[in-house]
Structure 1
Amino acid sequence: MTEAEVYTAEDLSLGHFLYALMSAFPLFFLPVFFSLVINISQTNVASQSLLATHLRWQRNSITGLMPLLIIGYFIPQLWLSIPVFTFALIWFSYRIFKGWLGLNDNLSMY
């Protein structure tokens, strides 16, 4: 699909809700876990729809965050683990903002 394709009207409120949960990650990452569970449970979304591309983007963002946090946790030197945590949170924030803005503009995410 190209960005120029026109999508039919579909309810994107689930995507907005999951991005809102993901953006609440400073709250002990519990909202991120809930958004992943809700995201994975969405099996009735058409695979080529706009919402499906955003659900995939969100899953990849969350599953990409987890290894970075685990690596940062197991680095014994604090001066090394803090930059890993900082990079992980900045990268995750970027993915949330880019995805949510793309959803607002009706752009698919790859």
Structure 2
Amino acid sequence: MKLFVLLSVLLVSALVAANPVSVQDAQTREDRVVQSGYFNGWFSRTIRLGIQEDYVITAFTITRTAGVATWALMDGGIGANFMSIYVMQPLVFPLPPSYKFDFEIRGQPQSSSL
């Protein structure tokens, strides 16, 4: 058992020592909001989002302001610099024009994400 613990500690130490830059990067890099906004939802909606090419998408969130379940499908996504969002919701008519979705896309400069 002691040998297993010792080998585990040595392995983790070797991995950290072999890649100190990425460990430091993970602690100092910060995602930035590269695009955010809202759109009114009806039965379905497609949005084509043009992200600046010098950013890579690291996170995407979509929230609803009404109490109806919603699904969002992404084309592009994490690691890309473009995204299309396809939003689907239950077939409930009529949905009020104020039925609103908020979205936020976060990213990091492409040079620091490598």
Coarse TM-score class (shorter-chain normalised): under 0.3
RCO comparison, higher one (Cα < 8 Å, 6+) = 2
Structure holding more helix per residue: 1
Structure holding more strand per residue: 2
When normalised by structure 2's length, the TM-score is 0.27
When normalised by structure 1's length, the TM-score is 0.28
Between Structure 1 and Structure 2, whose CA radius of gyration is higher? 2
